[in-house]
Amino acid sequence: PRPRTVWLGHPEKRDQRYPRNVINNQKYNFFTFLPGVLFNQFKYFFNLYFLLLACSQFVVEMRLGALYTYWVPLGFVLAVTVIREAAEEIRCYMRDKEVNSQIYSKLTARGTVKVKSSNIQVGDLIIVEKNQRVPADMIFLRTSEKNGSCFLRTDQLDGETDWKLRLPVTCTQRLPTASDLLQIRSYVYAEEPNIDIHNFVGTFTREDSDPPVNESLSIENTLWASTVIASGTVVGVVLYTGRELRSVMNTSNPRSKIGLFDLEVNCLTKILFGALVVVSLVMVALQHFAGRWYLQIIRFLLLFSNIIPISLRVNLDMGKIVYSWVIRRDSKIPGTVVRSSTIPEQLGRISYLLTDKTGTLTQNEMVFKRLHLGTVAYGLDSMDEVQSHIFSIYTQQSQDPPAVKGLTLATKVRKTMSSRVHEAVKAIALCHNVTPVYESNGVTDQAEAERHYEDSCRVYQASSPDEVALVQWTESVGLTLVGRDQSSVQLRTPGGHILNFTILQIFPFTYESKRMGIIVR
């Protein structure tokens, strides 16, 4: 793979061949299915032993009974395995087909056309709606959100439940309509495909402006495949497809899995086979190795072969099929998908569950419990005091004449407790990355709810539940976050007045600083 230049809306202008945008999670294809299944069965000693046993019956001197007594049980086991693997492959094929057949809107010179996910090409301009899966790795060009950003759910990509904030390319977000993307001469220069989902290097260039526009692109401008759009409608240009997707390159090739139980049975079979050989040698030694003793050893091995019962293998396979069937139809865990029917018994052997943080296993519901201000602390039982301080500050401000108010605030050296509480609450209400979003609730439509800052229609969107808890708390004590975009924040006071703050600079949270900062006017 090498770096690429992708022209917006012109997939025909490509400088190299790109793979089709097809997701394929199957272990086998039509030709490799039977050889692959048989190889995976006979690479273990347990199954190979019974195969050699059955084959030995074709030699007349070793035959101990009718051929079917050996071949029918082995054939039954193999048939069960082949049918089980075929059923899994068909289910996997249907899941892949469902993903590959999802319909998306594509921007073309003729307008918007519907296109299947599998027919999407590098350079296509794709529209992705809210709660829709991103079909390919894309650069984020436009959003319908007023704040000029969108949130992504990435749990299917990196396992994290926190939403990620993504920003569109500034040049394309400023265009009046999405169809204008086809009227400009612009391209994206991107790095070669790689497995790093947390970094991206590229540039966006618009040639037909004077002077030409160059913007550097980072991970904040990307929409990786298998993520889900959590807010608004977005438009992106496709960069990578098919096997070059970040999500596909991070997925190992599907393999035939074997459980600990099967490995233990395989090991026990080897031990029993060793015992068989010893017993056969003892029997031949008692006959003083007379005549063709080596043939006698093989005949004794065949005679004692029932020590390793083939019925054990039949019972194991049937048990696994029943386990898988019961798990799929368990009413207490609806919607469970059994992706591998070869290892369901492994679930019964789990002793320890290791997790990186509490949020992985819990609901992660954050509640603001305590506010410390130097010598004073407010707990859950005294939040009404905080509320009364906020109310007193804003009622006092609205009653004071403007000149006197400015003079008193300027000359006041020691802050009163009310103003200290007010400053703390205001800081918490401003220093975050939360965006209030308004949705229609059946009574009020979205535009009207946004215009009047309707409380019942407001939903807070953020990359972390901690931030949402802070903003919900400031709302409960009287200072409500009602609006936000890239350059401003709006707060509503208890009296219903709107305070407008201009964002001058944001210092994002990093693991080194362990905090975020914001400068507002």
Asked whether residue 116 is marked as a ligand-binding residue, the answer is: no
What is the sign, positive or negative, of the torsion defined by CA atoms of 270, 271, 274, 275?
negative
Is 407 strand, coil or helix? helix
Which residues make Cβ contacts (< 8 Å) with residue 163, sequence separation at least 6? 151, 152, 153, 154, 230, 461, 462, 463
Asked whether residue 32 is marked as a ligand-binding residue, the answer is: no
Which residues make Cβ contacts (< 8 Å) with residue 488, sequence separation at least 6? 500, 501, 502, 503
Task: Note whether 425 and 417 are within 8 A (CB).
Answer: no
Asked whether residue 509 is marked as a ligand-binding residue, the answer is: yes
What's the token pair of residue 68? 């079917």
What's the token pair of residue 435? 């965006």
For 98-166, give the DSSP string: HHHT-EEEEEETTEEEEEEGGG--TT-EEEE-TTPBP-SEEEEEEES-TTS-EEEE-HHHHS--SEEEE
Q: How far is CA 514 from the centre of its chain?
A: 25
Is 483 strand, coil or helix? strand
What's the token pair of residue 361? 């296993």
**Which residues are annotated as catalytic?**
356
For 248-295, give the DSSP string: HHTSPPP-----HHHHHHHHHHHHHHHHHHHHHHHHHHHTTT-SSHHH
- H or E, element range at 391: helix 383-399
Asked whether residue 357 is marked as a ligand-binding residue, the answer is: yes
DSSP state of 178: G
Task: Note whether 122 and 239 are within 8 A (CB).
Answer: yes
Q: Are strands 111-116 and 202-206 parallel, antiparallel or unpaired?
A: unpaired
What's the token pair of residue 153? 């759910």
Instruction: Determine the Cα–Cα distance for residues 402 and 377; give it in Å rounded to an integer.
Output: 32
Task: Note whether 365 and 464 are within 8 A (CB).
Answer: no
Asked whether residue 358 is marked as a ligand-binding residue, the answer is: yes
What's the token pair of residue 147? 């704040």
φ, ψ for residue 229 (rounded to 5)? Answer: -70, 125
What's the token pair of residue 412? 């006041």
Instruction: Determine the Cα–Cα distance for residues 374 and 393; give it in Å rounded to an integer.
Output: 20
Instruction: Determine the Cα–Cα distance for residues 178 and 10; give it in Å rounded to an integer.
Output: 15
Per the annotation, binding residues for Mg(2+) are 356, 358
Annotated binding site for ATP: 356-358, 467, 509
